[in-house]
Amino acid sequence: MTAALRADLPAARRVVVKVGSSSVSGEAAANIPALVNALAAAHARGSEVVLVSSGAIATGMPYLQLDSRPSDLATQQAAAAVGQNVLIYRYQAALREFGIVAGQVLLTAGDLENRTHRSNAKRAMERLLGLRIMPIVNENDTVATHEIRFGDNDRLAALVARLIRADALVLLSDIEALYTAPPEQPGAQPIDHVAFGQDLAGFEFGSVVVNSVGTGGAATKVSAARLAAASGIGTLVTRADLVAPALEGQRIGTWFSPNPAPPDSTLTGALALASQSVAAGAGPSATG
């Protein structure tokens, strides 16, 4: 069922969960079992779960003896090639006790622009879900270029949710909820709920930042959440360690209500969304 309310999340037929590099790489790799426990619980309730996971570049950095995120594309690609393998291994190791198999899906923005590639990606994920296999999606940073990329995995997650007609999207962050201004500023207040079409002009969301392991920021979460909500997909933004109560429908985080009358899932609409992702995502850094 479509998650019109936060409380509907436990009954959602299909859920996309996105987690960032800072939550699953480096010392934070120890968080993977807890994340997987929450996803497995949702899986056991009958939900079809897709995980969009950043972290390939950050995970690969130690194997390339890098102390900080590389700035050149070739080294980012090399780190991603090594790190994606390790990252999937860690997820599968954690999933094994639940009898769940992971299926790796790597996408580029071009894949969602091309009708044949988009259809193939959708068919593959639909089949994985039908077999009760958990797709783990990331941008294909090994072949991505500056000109053709999603820009951040929040947007990728929104586009994947749109592609497979998910009922809900959960964007995991480093803070419990979005705020009316950067949380460290006096007077900043958490935002509990964003109605569809609500004007957010009075709020101040942090711009995209690049840290030692990944890219992102509150602004990318808002952009992705509104993109998904416009397609009729309720979206929750909350902290990564709160994923279990989030998927249980507890009142945490910031909920973006879905469009009650979303446009049909047409080829034109899919192309438009993918084109938006390319336009917003062009830049010097791979998502990882």
Going by the annotation, the residues of the binding site are 18, 54, 141, 153, 173-174
Q: Which residues are annotated as part of the binding site for substrate?
A: 54, 141, 153
Q: Which residues are annotated as part of the binding site for ATP?
A: 18, 173-174
SS (H, E, C) the chain: CCCCCHHHHHHCCEEEEEECHHHHCHHHHHHHHHHHHHHHHHHHCCCEEEEEECCHHHHHHHHHCCCCCCCCHHHHHHHHHHHHHHHHHHHHHHHHHHCCCEEEEEECHHHHHCHHHHHHHHHHHHHHHHCCCEEEEEECCCCCCCCCCCCCHHHHHHHHHHHCCCCEEEEEECCCCCECCCCCCCCCCECCEECCCCCCCCCCCCCCEECCCCEECHHHHHHHHHHHHHCCCEEEEEEHHHHHHHHCCCCCCEEECCCCCCCCCCHHHHHHHHHHHHHHHCCCCCCC
